[in-house]
Every structure is written in structure tokens, then in C-alpha cells.
Chains A and B, each alone.
Chain A
Amino acid sequence: MRRVSVTGRLFLVVMLLAFAFPFLPLLVASFSFRWHWPALLPTQWLWDARETTPFPVGWDYLFSPISGLGPAFLNTVVIGVVTALLAVVLSLPAARVLARYTFRGKGVVEFFLLVPVIVPQIAVGMGMLLLFMRIGIARTYVGIILAHLVPAIPYAVRILTSVFQNLDPRYEEQARTLGSGWLSTFRRIVLPMVLPGVTTAFLFSFLISANIFLLTFLISGGRLQTLPTMLFSHIESGAPLDATTAGLVLIVSVPGLVFLMISDWLTGDHAALGRTSFGSRSKKERP
């Protein structure tokens, strides 16, 4: 591992502060009971006000069963994981074709894959809501997951297309000449080699799903709460940043962070393997 220079380290610290700084006031706010301008720190902390309030506030409220945080958290994770899995599974064959082959109408297909990102989500959502109500899957997990796939798939296809563009098709041909059928070639050769890219696509799809408010709100009609819809309902109430909302915002960031760490751990391992394998061509033969 190379040592990082002093300026490099300074740069890293500044970057870290820039990313972490917005979270600091949130953290403080989540423990405050009264925090008015121009005070630098809360004038009354949550733990001092605990006895005087008739019902729980801040973390106390969030972790009490009445807040509904638990089900919302679970909904977010379940919907996110299923959406991401489906997005990756559906995008893999499409990405392979888009990366490898040219065919009539390829440009049109690529454009239509981008449309959900360009068209306003409210338009997509209203259209889907009408359709889903007719076929009876509005207000269900299935409906919400289908809706989440619409913005997730374009990103997954994009990421996986570039992954397949970097995978030499000769690996698959080589496997076939050694007697491996397509399923075995995919399982033993293609999948291990594209795993880092697949993990990235999965993570992205999950993050997109975990941050969707509008589509969830429209399709679920308020019956199913996820973390974003729960958060928006708090912001809607018009109150300034209270302890409960601040805490909720922090919790909303948790799934993303956890998945980032998982993916970093997974891809880091395979990336190291990839480096040793691909970087060797320039090496001279040892005598």
C-alpha cells in the first residue's frame, strides 16, 4: 500500500468533513428539546425535558411502537432488496445483449430504457396507479415493487452494460470449447467475473428504491409506510426541525450506509483478485 502525502491527507480530511458536516446538526437536533436561533447549542436537551412532556419525543418516540418506525424500516429493506434483486436479474440478459450485439432498433431500445429517468415520476406514477387499481395490485407490495423497478432498471442496465463491455466474450467461447454448456458457462465463468459489477448494480438499485417517496406514496395510498414516506409525513406537518424528524433522517441513511459497506467488502475482495489476474500481461518473463 502506498503512503498518502500530507496534502493528500489534508484533502481527504476536508472531503470527509464536507460530507459529514451536514449530519452534525442533525445529530445534535435529534437530542434537543428546544433549540432556537441564535443559540449555538440547544437551550433545552431532550433528557431534561423527558419528565415534563405528556408523550414521548425524539428517539423515545421513534423507538416506541406507536411511531411505526419498525414496520417502515422493514418495508424499506424488504421492498429495496426485492426490487434490487429483480432489477439485477432482469437487467443481466438485457445488458449482455446491449453490450455485445448490434441489431435493428437498438437505439430505440436504449432510449426507452432511459425514458423512466427523463419523464417526471409523477407522470409515471399516476399512469401506473390507474393501471394497478384496475388489475388490483395498487396498495400491495407487488405494486410498489413493480413501481420501484421502473426507475431502478435503467440504472442497473447502464451499470451492467459497461460491465459486459469490459468482459471479453472469448472467456465464454473458451469455456464452450472445453465442453461447458451455456448455464454452466454463466455460473462458473461469467458470474464470478461480473460479480463486482453485479454488486454495484444491486446496491444502486437498492439505494434508488430506498429513497423513493413519490411512487411509494402514490401506489400505496398511505397504507404501506416506508422510511421516506414516514419522513415526508413529518416534514409535511410544517414544524421546524424537531428531534423526531432529525432522528428519522439519520435512520433513513442507515440502510444505504450498511449496503455501501457490504458492497465495498464484497467488491474489494474480487477487485483484488481481478488486479492480480489482468495486470500481468505487461510483466516480463522471469528467467
Chain B
Amino acid sequence: MTDITLHGVSKTYDMDPVVRDLTLHVPAGTMFGLLGPSGCGKTTILRMIAGLLEPDCGDIAFDGVSVLSVPTERRRIGMVFQQHVLFPHMTVEENVGFGLRMQGVKLRQARPRIDEVLELVQLGGYNRRFPGQLSGGQQQRVALARAVVTDPVVLLLDEPLSNLDARLRDDMRVLIRDVQRRLGITTIFVTHDQAEAIELSDRMVVLFEGEAAQEGPPEEVFERPVSSRVARFLGSTNLIPVQVPVYPEEGWVDAPFGRVAVCCGGYAGGSVPRELLLSVRCEHISLHGEDSPGTVGSDGINTFHGRVLDSVFKGGLIFYRVDLEGFPVDVIDRSDRQFVPGARVVVQLPEQHLWVMPAVEYDGGPV
């Protein structure tokens, strides 16, 4: 297994910086997600790792050895492109065997290995088909088989699911995860879909304008975003502007609807800015009827009175918008009881799931 390091990598197209001073470490054998909106430079990063593009400055190393002087064809990578993936004039077998043929293996000798990887992507017996006779999902699977057939040191996937429809995408996601686990190959994939990144990756990085905004395990990025931008990009969160009280009290902030107890924040020591953002995931907020003698007393910590503005039932989940003293909060609830719009409810914000971060983005400074 190989680990990959990018050190101070930058790339500029026509005076326009696409990747800026990026430093990343991809541990050996992990599934690493590059997540970001389109134009954030994630595909450029992947192409630089593949050697299809040369960085303007910085270094890319496999197992600590710089590969910048190694051309693509000798970097021992496997890559799956977004589309136009298979060679249309070759059969499935010839496509998958192409990499082996480049290593001087005859097709006949390569056949057992080809069958093995086709079996891995659940396409055993498709050897003699032409790409044109396969569906989009099958083509993508053949491309995956072709990328791993030579036992590459790193597998690069460029939005491998974006051209598939929803159901196929789920199947393919499971398959990719399965193939990666079985081969234990260091894998870097690019996506703009936060759900895909969170579900697939062991570690991920969120990129904005060619810069790494946050890097870490998906749970950490999801639960404890470093900035409102990361929080917004990952979606389904409430961002509530809060202030540190005039006479600061440890662990308390003032929200538009009252004082909230928090236990942790996305800033470390030093000067705590006064203007903060409180992030709370929609699914972590719980709702109770005002009249119900529930487990949470209406005067408990972090409980607030509100009114349901809207409720939508989406198969097992209920999406609410609740008014808390003029401030709208989105809630996703799993309970079988549905509150109608206009109902008075008690809203509880769980202290351990509250996350405070600076309201404005900093250039340096404690974030």
C-alpha cells in the first residue's frame, strides 16, 4: 500500500489560480474524498496526481518519493474517468486487458486475471461484448475493472457516479467501496456530492477555490465544520447567529431566542470573537408537544418554546420548520407523531451536538 503526499501544490490556468498551495496527506490504503463545488480544482488535483497535468510548484510524492518526473504511463496508477471511458473498438476483454498488454502480457495469458476482475465488478461472462452493447452502469464497472487489473499503487476516480441515475449510483457506490476494501488500494475520488463523500470516504477534504477548507474523517467534517461555508456546503444544518454575552460566562452564548449552553467550539483559545455562529444539525433537534409529560421538562436546559410553521412527511422522516421567537429553525424528526402547522412545541437543542464557529471567515488567526 502506498501513501500519497501533496506538498505546497499550486496550479494556474491563464492567470487564474485553480489550486493554491495545497498540502494533503493521503494515508496508505484509505478511501480519500475530494469534495467541493464545481470549479474548486478537485479534478485538477486528481489529474496532477495522475501526471496528466504538471503542477506549477510544489511536490507530489508516492511513499515519500517524488513522482513529478515520472510520466503518467509509468506512475502505476489506475484511473476511472467521468465519461467516454471505454475504447469503443475493443471488446470488454480487450479493454480490461489493455493495461496488462502494455506490460507485455499476451491476451491469452491475461485471461484468468481479466476474468477475476470482471467477477469482482459482477460482470463475469461479458468478455466478448463491445462497450456499445453495455449500459452506462456496466461500462462504468468495466472501466473500474480495467483500472484495477494491473494492481496499481493508487486508484483515482473522477466523479465515477455522476453520469448514473439514482438507483444505479447506490449500487455502484457499494461496489466501489467493496472493491476498494478487498484490494486495500489507496483510492482518491472526486465528487461534488456531500452525501457521496461522507458515505464513501475514510477521510475527506472540503475544497473551495483550490484551497483546502477542512480535512478529516467525514464524521468530524460533518459534525464540526470549521466555517459556515463548510457547514452550508455539507447541508441540512441550522446556522444561528449568536453572541458572546456582554459579561462572558463560560459555555453560554446568546441566540436570538434565548441563552444557549454550548460545550465546544470551532475556535481554539486566545481571543474569542464576539460574533459567532451556532451550528446544529436538523436531525439532532428534538420536538415535544407542550402538553406532553415527556422526559424533557419545559424548563430544562436548552429548551425553547416555538410554533410549527410547516411540516412535510417524507417517508419515515418528518421535515419541520419551527418558529423560535421569530427565528426559523429546520428540524428533521423520526417520531411517528406529526405536529400540524400552528401547533405549539417545545424545542430541545442537545448540548453535545451544538457547535460554535466564527461568524466571519478569517485570513489566519485562531479558527
Contact = CB atoms under 8 A, between A and B. Distances in A.
Given A176-B73, A177-B79, A179-B73, A277 B131 contact: yes
Interface residues of A, number: 31
A260 B49 CA distance: 47
Contact of A178 (B71, B139, B146): B146
B133 A276 contact: yes
Interface stretch (A34-42, A165-173, A235-243): A165-173
A174 interface: yes
Interface in A174-190: 174-181, 184, 188-189
Interface stretch (B85-93, B174-182, B220-228, B358-366): B85-93
Contact of A276 (B76, B83, B130): B130
Given A171-B84, A176-B73, A179-B103, A273 B146 contact: no
Contacts, number: 95
20 contacts: A170-B85, A174-B81, A174-B85, A175-B87, A176-B52, A177-B50, A177-B77, A177-B147, A178-B98, A179-B102, A270-B89, A273-B130, A277-B88, A277-B89, A277-B130, A277-B131, A280-B135, A280-B139, A285-B136, A285-B165
Contacts of B132: 275-280
Interface in B233-292: none
A283 interface: yes
Contacts of B138: 285
A152 B134 CA distance: 40
Q: By CB atoms of chain B within 10 A, which of A177, A273, A276 has the most?
A: A177
A189 B87 contact: yes
A174 B79 contact: yes
Given A170-B84, A192-B89, A281 B73 contact: no
B228 to A, nearest CB: 36
Nearest to A285: B135
B89 to A, nearest CB: 5
Interface of B: 50, 52, 71-74, 76-79, 81, 83-89, 98-99, 102-103, 130-139, 146-147, 150, 156, 163, 165, 168
A189 B71 CA distance: 18
A278 B76 CA distance: 29
A270 B130 CA distance: 13
- Consensus secondary structure, chain A interface: helix
B84 A168 contact: yes
Q: Lowest 5 CB-CB distances: which A-B pairs, in order?
A: A277-B88, A276-B132, A277-B132, A179-B102, A178-B99
Nearest to A184: B102
